[in-house]
C-alpha cells in the first residue's frame, strides 16, 4: 500500500533504535530519558515539519492515518490528542536546551530513513524545525478562528455581515484549507499573517462598535478576541503579527506535565 521507500514505515521499523540510549545528563545531576508520550511528541513534531501540518491537522492525522500509527507503534484505535498538546511540547522544547538537544539527536538518527524516502537530504537544525512548525500552526490558528466567526455571523446576522464584509473575504475564508498556502515562508508568510490580522481587526472593531446586536458576548467571538491578543500586537497604530513568539509562549511548560493524559 505505501511502498518500500515510505518514510513512515522505515521510521516505524527503526523506532526502538531511534530512542535507544537517548539519556541526557542535566547540569543538576539528574538524567532525563524521554517518556513514551514525549517520544511520540518528538516524532510528531518532525512529521509536522515534513508535511507542513499545523497542530489541528496533525491531530487529525494521528487519529486517522495508518502510516503515522505504524511509525509511532500505536494501536489503530488510539484516541486522538488535542492539538494544544503539540504546542505545549514545543514550548517545553524552546525552554529546555536538553529537550532541544534530544530533538537534534533524533533528527540525526532519522537521516537514513529520510534519505531513503527522498526527503531532507540536509538535516535542518532542531530550532528551525520547531520554529517552522510553530509559525505554520499559528498561521492556521488565526485563519481557523476568523473563519469560524464569519461562518457564525453568516448564519446569525447575514445582513449585518454583508455591510461590514470586505470583498476578498469569501475567497480567503469561504472554502477549506486550499484557500491559503501554508507552505509559504519568510516575507510571504509574514504578509499573509499580517493580512489575516488586519481582517480580524476590522471584523472585531465592527462587532464591538455595533453593541446593539450583542455579538461581542458570543463565546466564538470572545475566543477570537483572545487569539488576536496572543498572536498580534499594536505597534505605531498598526496591528502586527508576533513573528518571533506569540504571547502564549511566554510561560514555559513543566516537563512532567507533558505526560499527563498520555
| Beta partners for residue 32, in sequence order | 24
- Report the C-alpha gap between 143 and 228 in whole angstroms: 11
Name the most confidently modeled range: 36-45, 174-183, 224-233: 224-233
The pLDDT of residue 118 is above 70: no
Q: Poorest-confidence range of 18-27, 102-111, 147-156, 192-201? A: 18-27
User: Which CA distances in Å does 109 have to 4, 11, 103, 151?
Assistant: 19, 10, 10, 45
pLDDT at 252: 53
Q: Residue 191 and residue 259: Cα distance in Å, rounded?
A: 37
If phi over 0 gives left and psi between -120 and 50 gives alpha, with beta otherwise, what is residue 52? left
pLDDT tens, position by position, 32-71: 556 778 889 999 999 999 999 999 999 999 999 999 999 9
Residue ranges per domain, the chain?
Answer: 7-127, 132-248
Q: Considering the chain, what is the average pLDDT of its residues?
A: 85
Helices (H), 123-244: 126-156, 158-164, 169-173, 186-209, 219-231
pLDDT, tens digit, 9 for 90 and up, residues 75-104 = 999 887 888 899 999 998 888 888 888 888
CA 223 to chain centre: 17
Nearest to 258 by CA among 68, 25, 87, 29: 87
Amino acid at each position: 500500500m505505501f511502498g518500500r521507500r515510505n518514510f513512515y514505515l522505515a521510521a516505524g521499523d527503526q523506532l526502538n533504535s531511534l530512542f535507544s540510549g537517548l539519556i541526557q545528563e542535566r547540569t543538576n545531576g539528574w538524567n532525563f530519558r524521554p517518556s513514551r508520550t514525549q517520544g511520540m511528541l518528538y516524532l510528531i513534531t518532525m512529521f509536522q515539519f515534513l508535511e507542513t501540518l499545523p497542530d489541528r491537522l496533525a491531530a487529525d492525522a494521528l487519529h486517522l492515518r495508518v502510516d503515522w500509527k505504524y511509525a509511532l507503534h500505536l494501536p489503530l484505535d488510539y484516541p486522538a490528542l488535542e492539538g494544544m498538546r503539540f504546542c505545549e511540547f514545543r514550548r517545553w522544547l524552546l525552554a529546555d536546551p536538553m529537550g532541544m538537544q534530544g530533538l537534534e539527536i533524533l533528527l540525526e538518527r532519522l537521516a537514513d530513513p529520510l534519505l531513503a524516502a527522498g526527503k531532507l537530504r540536509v538535516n535542518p537544525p532542531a530550532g528551525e524545525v520547531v520554529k517552522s512548525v510553530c509559525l505554520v500552526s499559528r498561521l492556521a490558528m488565526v485563519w481557523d478562528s476568523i473563519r469560524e466567526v464569519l461562518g457564525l455571523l453568516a448564519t446569525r446576522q447575514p445582513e449585518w455581515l454583508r455591510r461590514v464584509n470586505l470583498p476578498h473575504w469569501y475567497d480567503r475564508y469561504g472554502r477549506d484549507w486550499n484557500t491559503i498556502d501554508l507552505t509559504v515562508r519568510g516575507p510571504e508568510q509574514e504578509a499573509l499573517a499580517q493580512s489575516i490580522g488586519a481582517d480580524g481587526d476590522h471584523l472585531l472593531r465592527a462587532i464591538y462598535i455595533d453593541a446593539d446586536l450583542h455579538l461581542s458576548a458570543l463565546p466564538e467571538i470572545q475566543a477570537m478576541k483572545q487569539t488576536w491578543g496572543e498572536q498580534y500586537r499594536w505597534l505605531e497604530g498598526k496591528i502586527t503579527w508576533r513573528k518571533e513568539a506569540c504571547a502564549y509562549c511566554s510561560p514555559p511548560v513543566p516537563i512532567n506535565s507533558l505526560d499527563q493524559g498520555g
